[in-house]
Amino acid sequence: MDTDSSEQLRQDALAIVRALRQAGFTAYWAGGCVRDRLLGRVPQDYDVATSARPEDVARLFPRTVATGKAFGVMQVVTAGRTCEVATFRRDSAAGDGRRPDAVSFSSPEEDARRRDFTINGMFFDPVAGEVIDFVGGREDLARKIVRTIGDPQARFREDYLRLLRAVRFAATLEFALEPATLAALQALAPRIAGISAERIQQELTRLLTAAPRAGQGLRLLQASGLLAVLLPEVAALAGQAQPPQFHPEGDVFEHTVLMLDGLAQPSSPTLAWAVLLHDIGKPPTAVLSREPDGSERLRFNYHDETGARMAADILRRLKMSTADLEAITYCIQNHMRFKEARKMRRATLRRLVGAPTFPVELELHRLDCRSSHGDLGNYEFLLQFQEALKNEPVLPKPWVTGHDLLARGLPAGPELGRWHRRAYDAQLEGRFTSREELLAWLDRELPPPAAHLPPSDPVAS
């Protein structure tokens, strides 16, 4: 979010607090925006906590949406922007580990003590400029720790998503998990399986795309026990050896950690998930191969294809959107072809560089190389090739159309498709200088209409 948008949200939240105060209610900023401001970060949103009941909020503001009226939560809409306004409340036990069985309205201190972590349990009075801290949040910010408010097992049992949120906050803030909080997390890690796939995927995506060193977040997921429950395919990377001449960094898990740590943040979800899952096909495809010189070497034949299928299963399990799933699995399935870049025909290179996913694929390749053997020759070659095409379309409009081929007696079907591709490849290769030259070649090379012979390759001829 840009600075201007954040400032608009801040002004909206300040106006809401002032309006509630003028009506006789207590009102503060609450939660993450307070934490972020104290850390010198730009808040992405502002929440208001108040003594006003939902019906009071609805009466005071022209546009409101009752997103969680039973829990005292309203959205105040200002110029198309929304601010959550919630009544101070006390939650009863959560029988399903996801939401409280019932709520009752309460005081600011009781409201603070029902929240998840101390660093999220502070209030801020924007009129007086004062922090209201009933839970020791400021001290924990200074100590750089994530600690639950009160008994950690009790806090986690109220909402098991907090198990994953604890790791996400530790990773994105580069904080440590307080020992008792970590111990409770490890004890309750299997309970994360009861949380909806959508909520889990959202938390994992936020961790991968926002943590300054997402690989350390992956280590914490592993140490907490959450990784084995949520992504057993990724947990299986630990201990999977690799050929040291290509991977001096160690096993596949270590390689993945290094790649994630190298992500520029904020990262795109497509790139982050492609990095996380790009080598999950290695453990099931690992074989010890006898080389021509008699030595033995680990190989992972077709691990890219196997990994893409496994990734698709994982992403479906996590309810990832179809578009994101397809983009991520495409990058995984094709990540090994970059090592052949300098041997590719020009037409193949242009198709590679012209693909919508190429920027993600190229960065995936760079991270892959930097986190292993360190050879960036293919990466630099592709950058140069891309630069050479900057003043022309990478994939120009085809000179030859299907109608052109039909007019020359080719029947509709696979044969027409093959000739169309060969004609376009010839154009991309620069073998002809105009549409007329390419059509003249087709007139010479196409088989008689009745023959339907397999086409020859103009580029190879």
| CA 317 – CA 25 distance, rounded (Å) | 45
Domain 3-143 has CATH 3.40.718.10: no
Sequence letter at residue 88: F
* pLDDT tens readout for residues 164-185: 999 999 999 999 999 999 999 9
Q: In the prediction, which pLDDT does 456 show?
A: 56
Domain boundaries, the chain: 3-143, 151-227, 231-388, 396-461
Bigger pLDDT: 265 vs 255: 255
Instruction: Report the distance separating Cα 6 and Cα 126, nearest Å.
Output: 15
Residue 323, classified by CB atoms within 10 Å of its CB into exposed (0-12), middle (13-18) or buried (19+), is exposed
- In this predicted structure, what is the pLDDT of residue 99? 59
The pLDDT confidence band at residue 94, using thresholds 50, 70 and 90, is low
Number of C-beta neighbours around residue 3 at 10 A: 8
CATH tag, 151-227:
1.10.110.30
pLDDT given at position 71: 83
* pLDDT at residue 460 in the model: 45
- For the domain covering 231-388, report its CATH number: 1.10.3210
With cut-offs at 50, 70 and 90, classify the pLDDT of residue 216: very high
pLDDT number for residue 458: 52
Distance between CA atoms of 383 and 404, rounded to whole angstroms? 35
Higher pLDDT, 460 or 214: 214
Average pLDDT score over the chain: 92
Tokens coding 195? 């949380």
On whether the CB atoms of residues 150 and 157 are closer than 8 A, the answer is no
Q: What is the pLDDT of residues 313-346, one digit of tens each?
A: 999 999 999 999 999 999 999 999 999 999 999 9
